[in-house]
Amino acid sequence: MLLKSTTISALLILFIISTSPYGSAQETQQKIDELSQQIEKLDQEKEYLLQRVEAFKLTKCIEDLKAIGLPTESYIEHAGMLLSYNEEHEQANWVMHMILPDIAQGVVFRTNDFRIDPLVQTGTAVQEDYFLTDTLANGKVNYDGFGYDRGHLAPSADFRWSKQALSESYYYSNMSPQAPEFNRENWAELEDHLRKFVIANNTPLYILTAPKLEADLPSIERSVNAVSIPKYFAKFVLDPNNQQGIAFVMTNDASNGPIESHAMSIDEAEALFNMDVFNKANMNEGKLELNHWFDNLNTGDKEPLAQDQLPKLHFNTIIAGKRINKKSIVCGHVVSQRISRSGHLWINLDKKFPNQIFSIFIRKEDIVNLPYDPQILSDKNYCFEGKVELINDVPTMNVKRGKQIKALNGKMD
Q: What is the pLDDT of residue 147?
A: 95
The pLDDT, as a whole number, for residue 8 is 53
- What secondary structure letter does DSSP report for 21? T
Separation of alpha carbons 175 and 33, rounded Å: 50
Mapping DSSP to helix (H, G, I), strand (E, B) and coil, where does residue 136 land? coil
In the prediction, which pLDDT does 301 show?
81
- Report which residue type is found at 256: N
Q: How much is the pTM?
A: 0.67
Along the chain (413 residues), what's the average pLDDT of each consecutive run of 10 residues? 51 51 78 89 86 90 96 96 98 98 86 95 96 84 91 95 95 97 90 91 96 97 97 97 96 84 94 96 92 73 86 93 95 91 90 86 92 87 95 91 86 43
**What are the boundaries of each domain within the chain?**
52-297, 307-407
pLDDT at residue 245 in the model:
97
What are phi and psi for residue 28, nearest 5 degrees? -65, -45
- Name the CATH superfamily, with its identifier, for domain 307-407: Nucleic acid-binding proteins (2.40.50.140)
Of the candidates 201, 186, 185, the residue with the CA atom closest to the CA atom of residue 291: 201
- Measured CA to CA, the distance from residue 101 to residue 104 in angstroms comes to 6
User: Cα separation of 131 and 145, whole Å?
Assistant: 4
Do the Cβ atoms of 83 and 174 come closer than 8 Å? yes
DSSP SS3 for 189 = helix
pLDDT at position 45? 87
Distance CA 277, CA 207 (A): 10
Q: Which CATH superfamily is domain 52-297 in?
A: Extracellular Endonuclease, subunit A (3.40.570.10)
**How high is the pLDDT of residue 18?**
52
